[in-house]
Structure 1
């Protein structure tokens, strides 16, 4: 039983130190809820509980910026509205012409020259 308490205490101390360091090195923009000094105080004063709170509530993920996700131009309504319908039809017509030319070309090699 004493071994479990020693191992548990060691793991709690490692987690506590890791939580303090992680909270301290994160930029202020990645903290949710309260300010950075307040989070550091919470983690220091409440060793294990503060660390758990920091990782569950206070730490904002790198991809959790609160901004709109990046979308491609074909999914962006503003971009689609900006496309001129005539330009789009002209481009489709040109691409279809190029495709028809490619279909007409044969893949056969040219005939050999019979002259020696």
Structure 2
């Protein structure tokens, strides 16, 4: 029974620290980037999770009694999908106008070249007209 606990407790501690690290926002990870903490937790079985729990995360109570997830939910980006973002939609309109102008130029160039070919086929001098 004791042997089983010797493996289950560190495993549970590692799983808890790993999930806690993944759920922690990047700006709340202290001393190292979050990805480094993930590797430390997974590579150093007992020391890694203890280090994460002791020094890896800001552990201050949130302002106004809110939970950290509430704070992040209320302060996330205003637009979730690109089609809800007016700046993105305006940039698509600008690209569309630019593409339309380019297409018109290409069509005019194509018409000019086709007329030159017709003149050559009819025996006219293309530089004369």
More helix by share: 2
Q: What secondary structure, in the 3-state scheme, does the structure 1 residue paired with 2:58 have?
A: coil
Counterparts in 2 of 1:1-12, with a 5 A limit? 3-12=1-10
Q: Distance in 1 between matches of 2:21 and 2:60?
A: 14
1:26 corresponds to which residue? Answer: 24
- By how many angstroms is 1:63 displaced? 3.3
Q: Which has the higher contact order (CA 8 A, sep 6+)?
A: 1
CA RMSD of superposed structures (Å): 1.8
Segments ≥4 residues shifted beyond 2 Å = 62-65
Return the TM-score normalized by structure 1: 0.50
Give me the whole-angstrom Cα distance separating, in 2, the residues matched to 1:64 and 1:29.
14
Q: Unaligned stretches of 5+ in structure 1?
A: 66-116
Aligned counterpart for 1:13 among listed residues 11, 14, 26: 11
Q: CA deviation at 1:64?
A: 8.2
User: Separation in 2 of the partners of 1:64 and 1:31?
Assistant: 15
TM-score where L is the length of structure 2:
0.45
Gaps of 5+ in 2: 64-129
